[in-house]
Structure 1
Amino acid sequence: MTFEQVSLLILLIAMLALFSLERFRIEIVAIAGLLAGYALGLYPANQVFAGFASPVVITVVEILLVVQVLARARILDRLAGLLGEARLSNTGVIAALSSATGLLSIFMNNIGAFSIGLPVALRVSAVMKIPKRQLVMPISFAALLGGIVSLIGTPANLLVSDAMAQATGTGFRLFEFAYVGAPLLIIGIAFVSWRAPRTFAETGNDAATPNPAARRVVGERHIPDHSPLIGVNLAEIPSRFGLQPHALIRNNAFVFGARDKSHVVAGDYLLAETDDTVLAELTASGALSPARHPAVPQVELTSIEAVVMPESTLVGSRLRSLEVFSSRGIVVAALSMRSPRIEGRFEDLQLSIGDILVLEGEHAAITEALEECECLPLASQPPSHGSGGAWQPFIIFACGVAATAFGLLQPDIAFAAVVLALALLNYLNIRQAMADLNWPIIIMLAAMIPIGSAVASTGTAEVIATGLRAVIPIANPVAGVGLLLFLAMAITPFVNNATVAIVLSPIAIEFASIAHHSPAAYLLAVAAGASLDFLTPFGHHNNTLAMGVGSYRFRDFLKIGGPLALGSYFLTLVLVYVFWL
C-alpha cells in the first residue's frame, strides 16, 4: 500500500470514530478531515472546496428550502381530523400515519417528512387515546423507508447517483430506486403497523400511566392562598395529588429535611414531576398557580408545545438562559425531558434533543421565537401568510419533480427553478430560509465529497476490494452486493448516511469492476443500506427525536428495529437480484 492509501484509511477511520462519538460538532470534524486530506496530499488545492459546488450539495440545499415552505402549510392536519372521525383500529391508524409520512419522504428529506408527520401523530394520540409510543417510532421508520424510493428522498441516493454518473456517464433516474424502495416501504409499514401495538400495548409499557396519551412533565408552580396542598407534607403529595415532588422552595431557599416533616405553606414554590394532564387540572382548579415572568402579558395568552430538534440552538442550554423566550415575554411553563435529572430549580434544567417545552405567551411571539431557535411546534398553528391553504407551492414543487422524472432538467436546475418561483410568489424568503438551514449537515456533506473521491483516485477502493476478495467471493454479484449492504447497514447507525454513501460508493464501483458487472446494483445496495437505520436511537436524527418525544428506551428500537432491519436486508437482496442483476 502507498503512503496516500494508508493515510487515507487512517483518516477515514479516525473521522468515522469522531463522528460516532459525537464529542465534537460534525462540521468541525468534517472540515478538519478535509484540510488534513489536503495536507496529506490526497487531493490538489483546487479540489478542497469542490464539494460546495457539487450538484448533490446544491440539490440538497434546494430541497431543504422547499421543505420549509411545504412544512408551514401543515399538509397533514386534515389527516388528523379524518383519523379522529374514522373508527380505525390502532393498527389502521399507525398504517395511515406511516403511509402519509412515507409518501412525503419520497419527495423531501427524511427529517422534513418526520417533522411534518410528528405533530399530527401527537394530536391523534391525544384525541384517540392511543399511546404515542405506538405512533412515533413507526412514522420515524416510515420516513427513513420512504427516502429510499426516489433520487431526492435522501442525500445518500443523490451521492450514489453522482458516483454512478462518474463511473458510467449516466446517473439514476428519479424513480429507479423505487424498484427496491417501494416494496421495502410497503412491507416495512405493514410490519411496524402490526408490531407497534403489540410491543407498546396499553397494558404493557403504559400500564402504570392512568392516561396513555399523557406525557410526564416537570414544572415549578406557586402555592396560592387556600390551596388544598397547604399543610400537606411532601411524602403525602404523590398519593393525594399525583405529583412527584423534587424540591420545595420558600423565600428563594430550599426546604430541607425529611419529606414527612416538610409541610407546604402558602407562598411556597413546588418543583414537581407529573402527567401534563394532572398539572393542567391542578392549575385550572387553583391548587397551583403559574410562576409567570413579569413581562408576560396577562391577556390573549396561548400555550404551545415545541420539541427541541437536533439542530436547535437550545441544545445544552439551561432554562434560565433562554433569552429567545424571555425577551418576548414567553414563559416555559413545563418541560418533558427524555431522562429527567432534577438538580436545583426549574430554571437550572438543561435541554437536550427531543425535550418538549410547554410555552405560554403571545401566539405571534412564540411562533417567531420557535423559528429563531429551530424548535418544532407540536400544536396546531395558523398557516403562515402567503401559504395557508394554498396549493400553489405543491403545484410548483410537482412541476420540478416532473421535470426531473422525465429527464427534462437535471435535479439541481429543476429545483433551482422551484426555489425561484416560490421566492417570486412570496412563499419563500430566501435570506431568512438560508439562515434556517441545517448548515452542519450541509458543510459535512460538502467536506466529505473530496475525501470520498480520494478513495477512488488514490486506489484505496481497489486495495480494499482486493483484500476482501481474498476472503469473500465478491466476484459473485450476490456475495458482493450482500457484503456492501451489510457494511452500509452496520456503519449507518454510527455515522451520517451521507458519509456512508460517500465512503462505500467507490468500493461498490470496484466490486462491480471485479465482477465485470454494471455498478448499478452495488450502488443501490449502498444507498438502501445507508437508509435502513432502525437499530439505534442515535444513528439518524429522526430516531433521536423519536426517542425523546416517544419516551423510548434503547432496547425498544431493537424490539421493532431488529426484525425490521433483518427482514429489510434479505428483502433488499432479493429485490436487487430480481431487478438489477
Structure 2
Amino acid sequence: MSFEQASLLILLLAMLILFSLDRFRIEIVSIAGLLAGHALGLYPADQIFTGFASPVVITVIEILLIVQVLARARLFDSLATRFAAAKPSNFKVIAGTSSLAGFISIFMNNIGAFAITLPVALGLGTALAIPRRQIVMPLSFAALLGGMVSLIGTPANLLVSDGLAKATGTGFRFFDFAYVGLPVAIAGILLISFRVQRLFPEPDKAPAAISSVARRIVVERRVPDVSPLIGVRLSDCSARFGIKPHALIRADNFVFGPLDQSVIEAGDVLLAEGGDTTFTGLATAQTLMADAHPDGLQPDFARVESVVMPESTLVGSRIRSLEVFHSRGVAVTALSMRAPRIEGRFLDLQLSIGDILTLEGSRTAIAEALEESECLPLAQTVPVEPAPLSWRPFALFACGVAASAAGLHPDIAFACVVLVLALLNHLNIRQAMADLNWPIIIMLAAMIPIGQAMATTGAAETIAGWLSIVVPIADPFSGIALILFLAMALTPFVNNATVAIVLTPIALEFAKAGQHTPDAYLIAVAAGASLDFLTPFGHHNNTLAMGIGGYRFSDFLRAGWPLTVACYGLALFFLALFWL
C-alpha cells in the first residue's frame, strides 16, 4: 500500500469517527478533511473545490429551492382534515401518513418530506388521540425508505448515478432505483406501522396537548417562599422530587459545594433536568415556579414548542445570543436536548439539531421568529401565512420530474423549474438561497474530491482486493450482498451521502475485479445507504424524531433491527431479480 492510499484511508477513518461523534459541525469536519487531503497530496489545488460545481451538488440545491415553494403551499392540510373526519384506525393513520412521507420523499430530499408531513401527522395524532411515539418514528423511517425509489430521492442516489456515468458514460435513469426501492419501501412502511403500536402502546397523558409526550427538559426555576424544597439537600432532589439538579444560584451567584451539603433556600434559582410533566406538577404544587412572562395575560399570548431543524440558524448558538427571539419579546423557557452538556446557567446552553425549544410570547412574534430562524413548530398554534394554494408550482415540479425521467440531466431540468418559479414570483432566489441547509451542501461538495481520490490513488482497488478474499468475486450475488451489508453497517453512524461517496469507487472496483457490470453493485450502495433505522444520529430525520417523539436510543434499536433485517433480505432479493 502506497503512502497516498494509507493516508487517504486514515483521513477517511478520522472523518467518519468525527461525523459519528456529532461533536463538531459537519461542514467544519468536511472542509478540514478537504484541505487535509490536499496537504497530503491526494489531489491538486485546482481540484479542491470541484465538488461545488458538481452536477450532484447543483441538483441538490435546486431541489431544496423548489421544496421551499412546495412546503409553503400546505397542500396536505385539507387532506388531513378530511382523513380525520373519517375516524380511521390507528394503523391506517400511521400507515397513511407514513406512506405520504414516503411518496413525497420520492421527489424531494428526506428532511423536506419529513418536515412537510410532520405537522399533518401530529395534527391527526392529536385529533384522534394516537400516541405521538407511534407516529413520529414511522414518519422518519418512511421518508428514508421513499428516498430509495428515484434518482432525486436522496443525494446518495445522485452520487452513485454520477459514479456510474463516469465509469461507463451513462448514469441511472430516473426510476431505475424503483425496482428495488419501491417494494422495499412499501414493505418497510407497513412493517414499522404495524410494530410501533406494540412497541409504544402507552397513550399520551393529555392527548389534546401537543406537549403531552413525556420527555426530559432542562429548565431554570425559582424556589417560592412556600416551596417544600426549602431545606432540602440537592442530593435528595432526585429521589424526592424526580429532578436532577445541575446548579443552584443564590443572589445571581453559584452555590458551590458537594450535593449532600448544598441546602436549598427560599428565593434560590435551580437549574435542573427532568420530565416535562414533572415540572408541570411541581409548578402546580408551588414547588418550583417559572418567572411569569409579561404578556401572559394578553389574548395573543402563546406557549409553543419548536424543533431546531438542520438548516436552522440557531444550530451552535447559545440561548442568551438568540436575538431572533429576544428582540421580539419571546422567551425560551425550557429546552429538550438530545445530549445535554450543561455548563453555566440556562442561557449558556448550546443548541443542536433536534433540540426542542419551549417558547412563550406573542403568537405573531413567535411565528415571525420561527420563520426567520428556520425552526419547525410542533403544533399549528401560531399563525402561519401560507402561500395561496396554487397548483402551478406542483405542475412545474412535475414537468421537471418528467423531463428528468425522459433523459434530460436533472440539474438542467430542475434549473428550468427554479427559473420559471422565480419568473412567476413563486420563489425569491436571494431569500431562498439564504434559507438553504448549507452545512449539508458544503459537506457534500467537500467530500466529493475525497471520494474521487479513492479511485485515483488506487485505494478503492486495494480495498476491493481485500474484499475479494472475504467473498468469491466470481459470484456477483455474494458481491452485492457484501456491498449492501457494508453500506447498511456504515449508514447508522454517518450520513448516507458520505457512505455513497466512500463506497461507490469500492463497488466499481469490486465489479471490475469480478468482470461484472457495476449497476447492481451501485444500486446496492444506494439502497444500503438509505436503510438507516438503528441509531438516532445516522440521519438528521432520526435525530429530529428522537427529540420530537421523546424516544430513547434503545427505542431505535428495538424498532429498527427487524426492519433492517427485513429490508436487507428484500433488497437483496430484488437486486438479484432485476439487476443480475
> TM class by shorter-chain length?
0.7 to 0.9
Partner of 1:374: 374
Letter matched to residue 357 of structure 1: L
Structure-1-length-normalised TM-score: 0.87
| Aligned-partner Cα distance in 1 for 2:83–2:225 | 44
Shift of 1:552: 1.0
Change (3 A) 1:417 1:21: same
Where does structure 2 lack aligned partners over 5 or more consecutive residues? none
Structure 2 counterparts to residues 19-418 of structure 1, below 5 A: 19-202=19-202, 213-216=212-215, 231=226, 233-234=228-229, 291-292=291-292, 298=298, 300-338=300-338, 346-347=346-347, 349-380=349-380, 382=383, 384=385, 387-407=387-407, 409-418=408-417
Shift of 1:27: 1.8
Q: Deviations over 1:288-308 (max 9, x none)?
A: 987355599945334432112
CA drift of 1:530 comes to 0.7
Number of the residue aligned with 2:534: 535
The amino acid that maps onto 2:498 is T
SS of the counterpart of 2:470? Answer: coil
Query: Does the 8 Å contact 1:15/1:30 carry over to 2?
Result: yes
Deviation, structure 1 residue 219: 5.4
Letter in 2 for 1:526: V
The percent of aligned pairs where both chains have the same amino acid is 65
Structure 1 213/61 Cα, relative in aligned 2: closer, same or farther at 3 Å? Answer: same
Matched letter for residue 167 of structure 2? A
Q: Equivalent residue for 1:546?
A: 545
The 1:277–1:75 alpha-carbon spacing in structure 2 relative to 1, beyond 3 Å, is: farther
Deviations 1:14-43 (A, max 9, x none): 222222233332222222222232233322
Inter-partner Cα distance in structure 2 for 1:210 and 1:76: 21
State the partner residue of 1:569: 568
Deviation string 1:445-464 (CA, Å, 9 cap, x unpaired) is: 11111221121222222222
**Larger deviation: 135-144 or 424-433?**
424-433
- Residues 508 and 522, structure 2, Cα contact 8 Å, conserved in 1: yes
Q: Pick closer, same or farther for the CA change 1:210–1:74 going to 2, 3 Å.
A: closer
Worse-superposed segment, 348-357 or 565-574: 348-357
TM-score, with normalisation over the residues of structure 2? 0.87
**Cα deviations by residue, 1:490-534 (Å, 9 ceiling, x for unpaired):** 111122211111111111111222222221100000000111111
**Residues 40, 89 of structure 1: CA spacing in aligned structure 2 closer, same or farther, 3 A cutoff?**
same
User: Per-residue displacement from partner, 1:451-498 (whole Å, max 9, x unpaired)?
Assistant: 211212222222221222133212210011011101111111122211
Q: Does residue 459 in structure 1 map to residue 454 in structure 2?
A: no
From the superposition, tell whether residues 208 and 283 of structure 1 become closer, same or farther in structure 2 (CA, over 3 Å): closer
Residue identity opposite 1:448 in structure 2: M
In 2, Cα distance between equivalents of 1:270 and 1:32: 40
Match of 1:496 in 2: 495
Q: Measured at CA, do residues 31 and 327 of structure 1 come closer, stay the same or move farther in structure 2, by a change above 3 Å? A: same
In structure 1, C-alpha distance between the alignment counterparts of 2:222 and 2:127, rounded to whole Å: 30
CA offsets per residue over residues 511-566 of structure 1, 9 Å max, x none?
Answer: 22222222110000000011111111111111111111111111111111111111
Q: What do the CA deviations read for 1:282-327 (whole angstroms, capped 9, x no partner)?
A: 9999999873555999453344321122343434544333222011
Q: Deviations over 1:422-447 (max 9, x none)?
A: 21222221111111111121111111
| Change in CA separation of 1:475 and 1:423 when aligned onto 2, cut-off 3 Å | same
Q: How far apart are the structure 2 equivalents of 1:130 and 1:186?
A: 22
Shift of the alpha carbon at 1:131? 1.5
2:359 and 2:9 mapped to 1: Cα distance? 48
What SS is found at the alignment partner of 2:82? helix
Distance 1:235 1:134, change over 3 A: farther
The corresponding residue for 1:475 is: 474
One-letter identity of the residue aligned with 1:53: A
Distance 1:220 1:49, change over 3 A: closer
Q: How does 1:491-530 map to 2 (within 5 A)?
A: 491-530=490-529
Shift in Å at residue 279 of structure 1? 7.5
Which range is displaced more, 63-72 or 43-52? Answer: 43-52
Q: Is the 8 A contact 1:314 1:351 kept in 2?
A: yes
Aligned partner of 1:499: which letter?
Answer: T
CA distance in 1, matches of 2:558, 2:435: 35
Asked if the contact 1:214–1:275 (Cα under 8 Å) also holds between the matched residues in 2, the reply is no
Q: 2:281 and 2:561 mapped to 1: Cα distance? A: 40
How far has the Cα of 1:221 moved from its partner?
Answer: 6.8
Provide the aligned length of Structure 1 versus Structure 2.
569
Secondary structure of 1:470 counterpart: helix
Distance of 1:110 and 1:45 partners within structure 2: 33
CA distance in 1, matches of 2:208, 2:385: 37
Give RMSD over aligned pairs.
Answer: 3.7
Output the amino acid matched with 2:304: I
